Amino acid sequence: MEPTREQALGIYRMMHLIRRFEERVAECFAGGEIPGFIHLSVGQEAVPAAVCALLREDDLVAATHRGHGQCLAKGADPRRMMAELFGRATGYCRGRGGSMHLCHLPRGILGTNGVVGANLPIAVGTALAAQIRGSGQVTVGFFGDGAANTGAAHEALNLASVWDLPLVFVCENNLYAEFTPQAVHTKATAIAERAAAYKMAGVTVDGNDAVAVFAAAADALDRARHGAGPTLVEALTYRYRGHHEGDPMAYRTKEEVESWRQRDPIPRFQGWLLGKGFLSEADDQRLVAEVKSEVDAATEFARQSPWPAPEATLEDVYA
Amino acid sequence: MPEVRYVRAIAEALAEEMARDERVILLGEDVGAPGGTFGATRGLYQQFGKDRVRDTPISETAIVGAAIGAALNGLRPVVEVMFMDFIAICWDQVVNQMAKMRYMFGGQVRLPLVLRTHVGAGLNAGPQHSGSLEAWAVHVPGLKVVMPSTPGDVKGLLKAAIREDNPVIVVENKTLYAMKGEVPAGEHLVPIGRAEVKREGRDVTVVALSRMVHEALKAAEVLAAEGVSVEVLDPRTLSPLDRETLLASVGKTGRLVVVHEAWAPCGVGAEIVAVVAEDGFHSLKAPIRRVTPPFTPVPFSPPMEKFWLPDAHRIVAAVREVMA
């Protein structure tokens, strides 16, 4: 299935928004405005943008530690996200969570997660509840090639399959688990091949091709919505930045990074849109400018927002 | 009042709450058609069906995570971890996910979730099936922890836990499953966070957990014959701890002995002792004593396990020491 013009423009805009948002996060982190640890997904935008373009508002997304894009694509407000990253009271979690614990349940965002692989069992649970309640919701569980080697991932894949849950596992395979290349941490590097071991559908797509990701996600969601159980979608992609901001990236060459930049998902999708006549040069410039001002506004919102009262530390406590 | 076995009281609590609220579901290894390894869910699969009473793979991480997700999406799951020793397998889901979720997400989510598990030595189950690890859970903010010692308490606390909007760890005791005791007929709820004085006394407070409550009551009988009046206090809820009842009891007796099956270092007894040392120090007439097992895994062979387990004799000896 190909995206309609409206869907395609939405995906394209979202890819720009994620890119611009995360580049801004990198700047603000380097400038000392964002505390803590930051994991960026610059280069991987096509995956969450295309997958989430197919989701309903009440569908659910279990995000990863590299999950800003997954949250934005599921409908998070960049202002409240940025405020959370800044540690401000207006953030989604009132400054309690930060980058690795972003949650906005009204939009089905179950949280980014600081523990690799741990979000997948939770995704099994929301899908189970959807199945029991007959709510028609689908859950998408994002994970990476690193998480693929956790016991939690294995247990979740098996359990989702044995219960035929409305769940789509989306592996953003960016070829590195933290600083370790995939060939060092995994013998069977094609993550989607594992689907066969769980008797579920599995597919590998070019994760830098938004159209291919969209088509694979559409098939997977169709199965999930019609009681045909989970799917494992593996999207091959790449992060240009380090595991975390400040990572010197000694584990890979500049040439490798550059070769992936030649396959950057944004210009590729732009070319597709122009070819289809879905986008004019003028529309493109306007869209990019709009996204920039949206990220500017989010940054300003975060900067102007108050810090949480220290005493707010003691709220939401029951034991 | 009807006499019911501890394990039956659990099944009754689950059945009543499942009948009352269709959002309550059960997840666990062999909790469905087999009715649970100890029979705690017997009959529920037949009564409520396979959708709501789910046999799971041996995947503690996935099933506890699934319970968390189900709670996030409109259900009120009760998940069983077959032995508390096995909670180590899924500790990330318990500590990093379940316990922190409401807090770290800024209060926007509630997790109405019960995790049932059991502890207890005395069945020759060996080092990996006998541990009392309740202190692990008590150490973590964001988990309510209850540890019922009687059929009445397990029923009332489990029902209260299922109605609670935050995660509750219900620590049962496998060696109590066969025990009979009074359970009030009809709706019976025991509030979370309330200790109970199981026997009133004047001279010494013995705080006991789980099966040790019954050993303490036996010890109190022996000591009564010697003219020592023992108050036996069962905290029932370990987190949040009922400090008031504890301090009131020690304030009255002036002496404290704490007994549990968990190891002494950083055990719940250490916390109880700390509460009294900080806020009840001036009422103490004697040093505090703890009665706990040796700091070793639970041995398998019967004579060693018997040697390992605290019992009424050791409680009597500790009370005599603080009375001396």
Residues B11 and B155 in one domain: yes
Average pLDDT, stretch B39-45?
96
B58 to chain A, any CB pair closer than 8 A? The answer is no
Stretches in chain A below the pLDDT threshold 50: none
Residues B143 and B222 in one domain: no
For residue B56, is it within any domain? yes
Tell which residue, B272, B307, B286, B279, has the closest CA to residue B228.
B286
Distance from CA of A158 to the nearest CA of B (A): 9
Contact A121 B144 (CB under 8 A): no
C-beta neighbour count of A265 within 10 angstroms: 26
Looking at the structure of chain B, the number of domains it has is 2
Residue of B23, B27, B29, B73 to mutate, interface with A, max A Cβ within 10 Å: B73
* CATH code (residue B236): 3.40.50.920
Helix intervals (H) in chain A: 5-30, 46-52, 68-73, 78-85, 119-133, 151-162, 182-185, 210-225, 254-261, 265-276, 281-304
Query: Which structure tokens are listed for A157?
Result: 């894949």
Domain range enclosing B286: 196-323
pLDDT at position B22: 98
Q: Residue B1: is its pLDDT beyond 90? A: no
Burial class for B274, CB neighbours closer than 10 Å (0-12, 13-18, 19+): exposed
In the prediction, which pLDDT does A310 show? 97
* CA distances (Å), origin A262, targets A124, A172, A246: 37, 19, 24
Domain assignment present for B94: yes
Judgement on whether residues B33 and B142 belong to the same structural domain of the protein: yes
Angle at the Cα of B67 (from B64 to B72), degrees rounded to 5?
Answer: 135
| Average pLDDT of the segment spanning B52-60 | 97
Inter-residue contact B306 to B289 (CB < 8 Å): no
Q: Answer yes or no: is B189 within a domain.
A: no
Judgement on whether residues B117 and B250 belong to the same structural domain of the protein: no
DSSP characters over B40-66: TTTTHHHHH-TTTEEE--S-HHHHHHH
**Neighbouring C-beta atoms of residue B214, cutoff 10 Å:** 21
In one-letter notation, the amino acid at residue A130 is A
pLDDT at A143: 98
3-state secondary structure of B271: helix
CATH code: domain of residue B164: 3.40.50.970
pTM for this prediction:
0.97
The verdict on B13 and B127 lying in the same domain is yes
Candidate from A94, A97, A125 with C-beta closest to B70: A125
Q: What is the pLDDT of residue B2?
A: 85
Based on the domain organization, do B116 and B152 belong to the same domain?
Answer: yes
Q: CB–CB of B255/B201 below 8 Å?
A: no
Q: Are residues B251 and B133 in the same domain?
A: no
- In whole angstroms, give the CA distance from residue B153 to residue B208: 14
B241 to chain A: which residues are within 8 Å by CB? none
Q: Where does B38-194 show beta strands of DSSP type E?
A: 53-55, 76-81, 114-119, 144-146, 168-173, 180-182
Cβ distance of A152 and B166 shorter than 8 Å: no
Is B147 found in the same domain as B273?
no
CB of B72 within 8 Å of a chain A CB? The answer is yes
pLDDT at residue B301, rounded to an integer: 98
On whether both B21 and B170 belong to a single domain, the answer is yes
Place B7 in a pLDDT band, splitting at 50, 70 and 90: very high
Residue ending a domain, among B157, B182, B207, is: B182
Nearest residue of A to residue B49 by CA position? A132
CATH of A5-303, one of 3.40.50.970, 2.30.30.30, 3.40.190.10, 3.40.50.720: 3.40.50.970
With DSSP H G I counted as helix, E B as strand and the rest as coil, what are the percentages for chain B, rounded to 5?
A: 40, 20, 40
Q: Which positions 182-221 of B are in contact with A (Cβ < 8 Å)?
A: none
Q: Copy the structure tokens of residue B69.
A: 């997700």
Find out whether B137 and B206 touch, Cβ atoms under 8 Å.
Answer: no
Q: Which residue has the tokens 């150490």?
A: B139
Q: At B106, which helix (H) or strand (E)?
A: none
The residue from B131, B159, B182 where one domain ends is B182
Question: Any idea where the domains of chain A sit in the sequence?
Answer: 5-303
B177 and B206: one domain?
no
Instruction: Report helix angle A5-30 to A281-304, nearest 10.
Output: 40
Cross-chain Cβ contact A126/B141 below 8 Å: no
Residue ranges of alpha helices (H) inside A86-178 are 119-133, 151-162
- Using CA atoms, how far residue B136 sits from A243, B28, B132, in Å, is 32, 21, 9
| Spatial separation of the C-alpha atoms in residues B63 and A125, rounded to whole Å | 8
- Touching check for B61 and chain A: CB below 8 Å? yes
Q: What is the mean pLDDT of chain B?
A: 97
What letter represents residue A55's amino acid?
L
Q: Which residues of B are catalytic?
A: 129
* CB neighbour list of residue A9: distance below 8 Å, 6 or more residues apart: A273, A278, A279, A287
Nearest C-alpha neighbor of B269 from the set B212, B312, B228: B212
Q: Does B22 share its domain with B143?
A: yes
Residue B187 lies in a domain: no
The burial of B131, by beta-carbon neighbours within 10 Å (0-12 exposed, 13-18 middle, 19 or more buried), is given as buried
The per-residue pLDDT for range B71-100, each reduced to its tens digit, is 999 999 999 999 999 999 999 999 999 999
Q: Do residues B261 and B118 both lie within one domain?
A: no
| Span B98-103, average pLDDT | 98
d(CA B39, CA B28): 13
User: Is residue B190 included in any domain, yes or no?
Assistant: no
SS3 A187: coil
> CB distance A125–B145 less than 8 Å?
no
